[in-house]
Amino acid sequence: MATCAALLAATAGSAVTWWVTRGTGGTAAARTRALDSLRPASTGYASLRGAGAHRSLTVQVKGLPTTSGYFEVWLMDRSHTKLVSMGALDPDGKAVLPVPENIDLREYSVVDVSVQPYNGKPDHSGKSIVRGPYAG
């Protein structure tokens, strides 16, 4: 009985380790933070990796709504008044986006993902899906 319990615990631990590291190239040190859902069916996660000129923002969102537009990733300040467009999610709801060295991450500490129409306007649509601080 004890051997069976130990085997079950080892299997569960291996499964959790695999799940945590599968999207990070095998490095368990990568952390993500859940973003606040601003739409009941959507969940998102974000993390920042690297330093200096080699920083990247990784975002993943599940449960995206149907749209004729696209999903834009933004960095914003805590007051949600200053925004920097970082790029778009791919069709699977994922993005790994370079973060320019001149962006002050102490000021731009929040990630926002919005639904954007194809209308030629670069402004935020005001229709956010998920938002919150990123890990890293």
pLDDT tens-digit map of 47-102? 999 988 899 999 999 999 999 999 999 999 999 999 999 999 999 999 999 999 99
State the DSSP string of 90-124. -TTSEEEEEE-TTS-TTT--EEEEEEE-SSS--S-
Best-predicted range by mean pLDDT (11-15, 52-56, 129-133): 129-133
Once rounded to an integer, what is the mean pLDDT over residues 16-42?
63
What mean pLDDT, rounded, does the chain reach? 83
Residue 43 near residue 62, CB atoms below 8 Å: yes
81 shares its domain with 17: no
More confident residue, 78 or 20: 78
Do 81 and 16 share a structural domain?
no
pLDDT of residue 29: 41
Query: What pTM value is reported for the model?
Result: 0.76
Question: What pLDDT score was predicted for residue 32?
Answer: 87
Output the domain CATH number for residue 52. Answer: 2.60.40
Expressed as residue numbers, the domain containing 102 is 31-133
- Do 38 and 102 belong to one domain? yes
Are 5 and 67 members of one domain?
Answer: no
Does 117 lie in the same domain as 83?
yes
Question: How do the residues of the chain divide into helix, strand and coil, expressed in percent and rounded to 5?
Answer: 15, 40, 45
Closest CA to 50 of 98, 107, 106: 98
In the block, residue with structure tokens 């929040």: 110
Query: Is residue 41 domain-shared with residue 101, that is, in the same domain?
Result: yes
Given this model, what pLDDT does residue 136 score? 80
Q: Decide if pLDDT at 1 tops 60.
A: no
Number of folded domains that form the chain: 2
Model pLDDT, residue 30: 56
What amino acid occupies position 91? P
Burial class of residue 114, CB neighbours in 10 A (0-12, 13-18, 19+): buried
Structure token digits, residue 39? 């739409």
Q: Is residue 36 domain-shared with residue 21, that is, in the same domain?
A: no
Is the domain of 48 the same as that of 81? yes
Nearest to 70 by CA among 47, 95, 48: 95
Mean local confidence (pLDDT), 8-17? 39
The reply to whether 6 and 42 lie within a common domain is: no
